[in-house]
Amino acid sequence: MKDTLFDQQASPDNFIHSLDPRTKILTLFPLIFVSTSTPPQFLLSFGLYSLYLIVLTALARIPIKLLIKRFLMALPFILMVSAYLPFVEQQDLSNPYSGGWWLFWNMVIKAFIGIYAMSVLTATTRFAKLIQGFARLRAPQLLLMLLSFTYRYMFVLVEEAQRMKRARDARAYGGRWLWQAKVIGQMIGTLFLRSYERGERVYLAMCSRGYDGTQSLWQNSSEALGRRDYAFALSSISVFILARWGVVI
Amino acid sequence: MSTRALEITDLTYQYPNGTLALDKLSLAVEANERVAIIGANGAGKSTLLLHLTGVLRASSSSAFKVFGTELSKKTLREIRQRVGMVFQNPDDQLFCPSVHEDVAFGPRNLKLPESEVLKKVEESLAAVGLPDHGSRSAFQLSLGQKKRAAIATVLAMDCQMLALDEPTSALDPRGRREIMELLEQLGGTQLIITHDFALAQRLCSRAIILHNGRKVADGDPANLLNDEALLDAHDLL
Ligand SMILES: Nc1ncnc2c1ncn2[C@@H]1O[C@H](COP(=O)(O)OP(=O)(O)O)[C@@H](O)[C@H]1O
Ligand SMILES: [Mg+2]
């Protein structure tokens, strides 16, 4: 199984890829907040946010196919919470920008900006670096550990499940659905047990390398951000501020 | 007199479910000796290894000394640094998102400064022949590479003794040869659990045969592993 979620063809000489993960976190998350706080009728603002992300995409040479895949992945969820809005929400007469269609637009464009920003972040940062970036920004260690184990063992688990499925199919799996359900139930149970045992062994492996539950997995003392990082973050934030507050003249 | 690397007297261990995995086991390993531990499945080899870093604790009174230091709660930290445990399945040992982080894990636990950690990671990955693989994730490595990466994770801790659980199992001939050459070149005190008789004869100066948690033979690998009656009696043939 291949990892298509995070950057794997790291391009160390690419400007965006080589920025400190902290810099990317500290610019792309603010973009999401700024965009969320923008009233839906500020069309120019949303245009500028998108333009900013398109420029990053071009600079980082992110494949368009990858972006489309991400959007398609998120589309069902966005539609689920927004598709009904145009039909049920009534316009509030005192506010010309209320009503179902504006609400729908508001939700869709903000989801678009959010997903686009996260895609740029993950497509240009290796998972390990991203987690380290969050750790250096003092995100809770427990949360980061869970994320990092999930990432690491997701692939092991999928492979294990695929092996079990193959073994099952090789033994002429079929028959009534009740029987099938029983087999699938057993498979899930086996996977759970194996993961549980793996968890115990991983913990032993951590202990035998001196872990006692108190240390930081990602060294917090870290090198300072470079000149390029400050330049990128400052110019980006200025763009957001101008796009958000500068367009209302 | 130099201190022995390992000295175990009357080690007994019973799993919580009642299985008696080690039964009054005694053995000693000299410093800079490479010893093979051989035994059928279920003989208690892995259980023995788990005692080496204090992950499991003996059920009954016994003496357990690593480089002259008695294993206890107080000395656990020190002993864990001295003994480098390499688990049988590298997927259990490589739990970080990248190989680099995995190798850095031990040194960071030892609270080394980050520059020192980086140096150790580079040295260890170079020693196992994976100098450019640090940024990879474990699932992008072959099994042989994973096993070598797992060895790098303990080399980075500067341990005085390596304890390896079936380092060549499930490898193709090339992967197996690479591991054997690596172990030979690393030297130092090594305790190797293995079913690989060729490895035991080529690398080890001594072999210990376990059966049902007991030591049944201890001697020159060339003699023991060619003794068909002995091997047959202990499910090894
Ligand atoms: N976690 C466990 N709980 C209960 N019994 C176990 C556990 N691990 C191993 N055993 C039992 O202890 C004995 C020794 O196991 P082990 O040390 O893994 O053998 P080896 O590594 O030589 O194949 C076996 O009978 C095995 O079934
Ligand atoms: Mg075993």
Count Cβ–Cβ pairs < 8 Å, chain A vs chain B. Answer: 99
Distance CA B106, CA B114 (A): 12
- In angstroms, the separation between the Cα of residue B233 and the nearest Cα of chain A is 32
A213 assigned to some structural domain: no
Instruction: Supply the pLDDT for residue A3.
Output: 58
Q: Which domain holds residue A25?
A: 2-135+223-246
Q: Is there an atom of ligand 1 within 6 Å of B17 CB?
A: yes
* Closest ligand to Cα B236: 1
What is the pLDDT of chain A when averaged over all its residues? 86
State the ipTM, two decimals. 0.87
Residues A76 and A198 in one domain: no
Residues A10 and A92 in one domain: yes
Q: Which residues in chain A have their CB less than 8 angstroms from residue B115's CB?
A: none
- Ligand 1 atom closest to the Cα of residue B213 is 14
Distance CA A49, CA A67 (A): 16
Residues A82 and A155 in one domain: no
- Provide the residue type at A49 as one letter: Y
Residues B23 and B82 sit within 8 Å (Cβ to Cβ):
no
Q: Which residues in chain B have their CB less than 8 angstroms from residue A131's CB?
A: 97
Residues A41 and A92 in one domain: yes
Question: Structurally, how many domains does chain A consist of?
Answer: 2
A200: closest chain B residue by CA: B92
A241 assigned to some structural domain: yes
A25 assigned to some structural domain: yes
Residues A111 and A198 in one domain: no
Across the interface, whether the CB atoms of B50 and A216 are under 8 A apart is answered no
Residues A146 and A197 in one domain: yes
Q: Which residues in chain B have their CB less than 8 angstroms from residue A206's CB?
A: 95, 105
Q: Which two tokens stand for residue B112?
A: 């080394």
A214 assigned to some structural domain: no
Which residue, A125, A131, A123, is CA-closest to A151? A131
Helix residue ranges per DSSP H, chain A: 21-36, 43-60, 64-82, 85-88, 100-123, 127-136, 141-170, 177-208, 227-241
Q: Residue A249 above 60 pLDDT?
A: no
Across the interface, whether the CB atoms of A127 and B98 are under 8 A apart is answered yes
DSSP category for residue A91: P
Residues A144 and A121 in one domain: no
A171-210 pLDDT per residue, tens: 766 667 777 788 889 889 999 999 999 998 999 899 888 8
A69 assigned to some structural domain: yes
End-to-end CA distance of chain B: 39
Q: Which of A99-113, A115-129, A208-222 has the lowest mean pLDDT?
A: A208-222
Q: In what order do the strands lie in the sheet with B206-211?
A: B83-86, B161-165, B189-193, B34-39, B206-211, B214-219
Residues A236 and A119 in one domain: yes
Over chain B (237 residues), the average pLDDT of each successive run of 10 is 85 92 93 95 92 80 85 87 92 93 92 91 96 91 95 94 94 94 94 94 95 94 92 89
Q: Where are chain B's structural domains?
A: 4-233
Q: Residue A221 above 80 pLDDT?
A: no
Residues A104 and A73 in one domain: yes
Which residue, B209, B85, B9, B221, is CA-closest to A211? B85
**Cβ neighbours of residue B195 closer than 8 Å, sequence gap 6 or more:** B38, B166, B169
Q: Is there an atom of ligand 1 within 6 Å of B50 CB?
A: no
Q: What CATH code is assigned to B4-233?
A: 3.40.50.300
- In angstroms, the separation between the Cα of residue B224 and the nearest Cα of chain A is 32
A98 assigned to some structural domain: yes
| B34 backbone dihedrals φ, ψ, rounded to 5° | -110, 115
Q: Residue A1 above 50 pLDDT?
A: no
Instruction: Supply the pLDDT for residue B219.
Output: 94
Q: Residue A7 above 80 pLDDT?
A: no
Q: Higher-confidence residue: A13 or B45?
A: B45
Residues A49 and A100 in one domain: yes
